[in-house]
Structure 1
C-alpha cells in the first residue's frame, strides 16, 4: 500500500482545528483527487473534507464512501455554535452523506443519525471500531511505577473532558495516597488537565506524556491499575464508544468509564471494568473500586475474559474486513 502525506497547518498543541487549518488539507486534496485515478474514494470526517471528495467524485464520475465516525452538526449544536454555522454544516453533512455510495457508521446510534439525514438504510453499514490486537496484547513489556496507577490515552477533546479524572484523583488519594494518572495524547483539553492538577496540588501525581507510539502506549496500559475513558454527557456524543476502551481491554486492563450512553453500556454489558456518573465523586468511587480489585482473586480470570472479548468482537482486522467487504460491494 502506498501512503501519500501532505503537511497541514496546526495549532501550538499540534491539533488540526478550525476551517483554515482544514482548508490547508482540503485544497491540495481537491487537486490530487481531480488528477488521480481510482475506482472508489473513501473519505473520513470532517464533512468539509467530505464535500471535497463528493464534488471531485462527481466530476470524475466515480463512487465514494463516507466513514461516519460521528455527526459533526450535532457536535456544533452541543457546543453552542452560532445557528448559521450549524445550518451550513448540517447542509454540507447532509449533501455528503446522501450522495455517498456507502456510509460506514461506527455504531447503530450513528447509523440511525445518518438515516435521519435522508440516507437509505440499505446504503448504511455499521462497523464498530477495532483495535490492533498485534500491538495491544496482554503479553509484552510493562511500564514500571507505583500502584495504583491510572492511564488515559488518546484524544483530549471537549467531548471527553478528561480533567474530570484529575478532580476524582484528589478524592482517590485520600484512600490511596500514592495514586497517580498518566495522560498520553493531545487535544484542546490538555491545558485544563494541567490547570486542574496545579489547582488541586497534584502536579506530582498527574503526568502528561504527549503523543507516544502505540507500542509504548500498550506498555503503559498493561502496567496500569485501570485505563480511563470518558464522554461528557448531554452534548450529543452519548453514542460514542472511545477506542481507548478497546485498547485497554485488549491488554487485559480494566476500564473506568465516566459518562453514560453507548460507551458506558459497552463497559458494563461486557464486564470490561467500571462505569460511573460524570461527577468527581462517582468517578473517584469507580477508581477506588479498580484499585481495590487490582491483583484480587478474580483479577486473572477477568483479564483473560477481556482479552478474549476484544479478539472476538473488536479486533482491527475483523473490523477492517467487514468494512472492506461492504466497500467492495459498493463499487
Structure 2
C-alpha cells in the first residue's frame, strides 16, 4: 500500500472515530435532553417562561436537562434541580431583544458548535426561529440524535402577513418545512398551528396549549408602587403590528368622554412601540413603561381594572390565544379582548371579561363595562378574582400543560432507545 493509500485510510479511520465520538452516549442513567433556545428565563417574554417550565417538567420527570441559551446582560438564569443552563452572548436590538436576522444568526452560528460539544444527548428540543431549528437538525444528524420542534407559531406565514418580500417568505418557508419534516415530534401551541405544521410536512404533532405560571401570577401579593392612583387598564407584554394595540389608545379617547380620569398603561416593548407613543400624542393618561420580569408584571396586573389584549384580524394570527390573557386571569384580573380567535368565545362564556370585534367603538364599550364592573365591594371583587383564577388553573396552567409536553418528549427518547 503506497503512502497516498495509507493517508486516505488513516483519514477515513479518523473520520469514523470522530463520528463515533459525536454519537457516543453514556450508558444508563437518566435521559439527557438539550433545549436549544435563544429565549429563557429570566428573559421577560412568554416564550422564556414557557421554556423554563418545560425544562422543569422534564427534570421532574427524571431527565437531565441542559439548556443552551443567551441570557440578557446583567441577569442570571434561575437555578432549578436537574437543569443546567449554559448562556452565551448574542447580538440584541436596541430594546435588548434577540430579534432580527442578524441577531438570530449571532445565536444560531455558535449554537452549532455548542451542540456538538460533550456526550450526545438522547433528544434535542429546538425553539423557533426556524433557523435555530435548521442548526439543530444538522447537529442532530451528526450526533445520531432525534430532535423535536416547539412550534409556537408558523414563521413563514407570519412573514407573509407582514408584507415581507416574496423571496424572504419563500426561503423561510423552505427552512421551516425542512425543520418540521425532520422533527421526530412537533409540539404546537394550538390547533391552527398544528394544522399548518402538518401541511408543511410535520409527521407527529401534539397540541400543547399555551399556559401561564400560576405560581408567579397570583391574586395575592404586592401591587405596583408606581401604578396610577386612578383606575387603569394594562397592556403587558410585546406590542407588534399584528397585535394592533393602538385600538386601545383610540378607544380610551371615547372612554374619557364619560370617565376622564381613566388611564392606560403599556408595560413592555415591541416593534409597534414607537408608533403607539406617537398615537398617544403625549397624553399623560397613556403611560409607557419598560418590560419587567414576570413577578413585577404580576404586581401591575393585580391593580388593573382590566388587562387589554388584541389581535389584528387577517394577518395570520387569527387562531392565536395570547398568553397575556392567562397572566391577567391568573392574577384575578378580567380581560378586555379585541379581535378573532378562541378567546373571543371563552371570555364572555366563562365571565372572564369582555370580547368584541377589532373595532374602536366596541372596544370602548367593553372598557366602560369593565370600569362599571370594578365598582363593587371588596368581597365581590375577591370572589370574581378567585373564579377567574380557578378557570386558569383548570384549563391553562402552564405546569399542567408542560407536564404533558414532557411526557410526549420523553416517549420519543424511549422510542429512540
Counterpart for residue 268 of structure 2: 185
Counterpart for residue 197 of structure 2: 114
Q: Distance in 2 between matches of 1:244 and 1:223?
A: 15
Q: Distance in 1 between matches of 2:88 and 2:243?
A: 28
Q: Distance in 2 between matches of 1:109 and 1:302?
A: 31
Counterpart for residue 234 of structure 1: 314
SS of 1:185's equivalent? Answer: strand
Q: Deviations over 1:24-78 (max 9, x none)?
A: 0001111101224311111111111111111111111101110010001111111
Counterpart for residue 291 of structure 2: 211
Q: CA deviation at 1:314?
A: 1.1
Q: Distance in 1 between matches of 2:212 and 2:372?
A: 28
Q: Runs in 1 of length 4+ with deviation above 6 angstroms? A: none
Q: In 2, are the aligned partners of 1:131 and 1:243 still within 8 Å (CA)?
A: yes
Q: Distance in 2 between matches of 1:170 and 1:295?
A: 21
Q: Distance in 1 between matches of 2:351 and 2:131?
A: 38
Q: CA deviation at 1:302?
A: 2.8
Q: In 1, are the aligned partners of 2:228 and 2:263 still within 8 Å (CA)?
A: no
The verdict on how the C-alpha distance between 1:269 and 1:43 changes in structure 2, with shifts beyond 3 A counting, is farther
Q: Distance in 1 between matches of 2:239 and 2:412?
A: 35
SS of 2:317's equivalent? Answer: coil
Residues 1:152 and 2:235 are matched in the alignment: yes
Structure 2 stretches of 5 or more lacking a match?
Answer: 1-82
Please point out which of 139, 144, 154 is paired with 2:220: 139
Q: CA deviation at 1:233?
A: 0.6
Q: Distance in 2 between matches of 1:33 and 1:19?
A: 21
Q: CA deviation at 1:244?
A: 0.8
Q: In 2, are the aligned partners of 1:146 and 1:178 still within 8 Å (CA)?
A: no
| CA RMSD across the alignment | 1.5
Counterpart for residue 77 of structure 2: none
Q: Distance in 2 between matches of 1:263 and 1:96?
A: 30
Counterpart for residue 224 of structure 1: 304
Please point out which of 351, 358, 361 is paired with 1:281: 361
Residues 1:97 and 2:180 are matched in the alignment: yes
Q: Which moved more, 1:155-164 or 1:294-303?
A: 294-303
Which runs of structure 2 are paired with 1:37-76 in the superposition (5 Å)? Answer: 37-76=120-159
Q: In 2, are the aligned partners of 1:130 and 1:319 still within 8 Å (CA)?
A: yes
Aligned residues: 326
Residues 1:324 and 2:410 are matched in the alignment: no
Which runs of structure 2 are paired with 1:297-316 in the superposition (5 Å)? Answer: 299-316=381-398
Counterpart for residue 126 of structure 1: 207
Q: Distance in 1 between matches of 2:261 and 2:178?
A: 53
Q: CA deviation at 1:112?
A: 1.0
Q: Distance in 2 between matches of 1:265 and 1:116?
A: 27
Q: Which moved more, 1:28-37 or 1:64-73?
A: 28-37
TM-score by length of 2: 0.75
Please point out which of 242, 247, 264 is paired with 1:164: 247
Q: Distance in 2 between matches of 1:325 and 1:32?
A: 26
Q: In 2, are the aligned partners of 1:153 and 1:185 still within 8 Å (CA)?
A: yes
Q: In 2, are the aligned partners of 1:147 and 1:225 still within 8 Å (CA)?
A: no
Q: In 2, are the aligned partners of 1:156 and 1:189 still within 8 Å (CA)?
A: yes
Q: CA deviation at 1:267?
A: 2.4
Q: CA deviation at 1:109?
A: 1.4
SS of 1:154's equivalent? Answer: strand
SS of 1:256's equivalent? Answer: strand
Q: CA deviation at 1:209?
A: 1.3
Q: Distance in 1 between matches of 2:320 and 2:346?
A: 10
Q: Distance in 2 between matches of 1:103 and 1:272?
A: 31
Q: Distance in 1 between matches of 2:163 and 2:350?
A: 34
TM-score by length of 1: 0.94
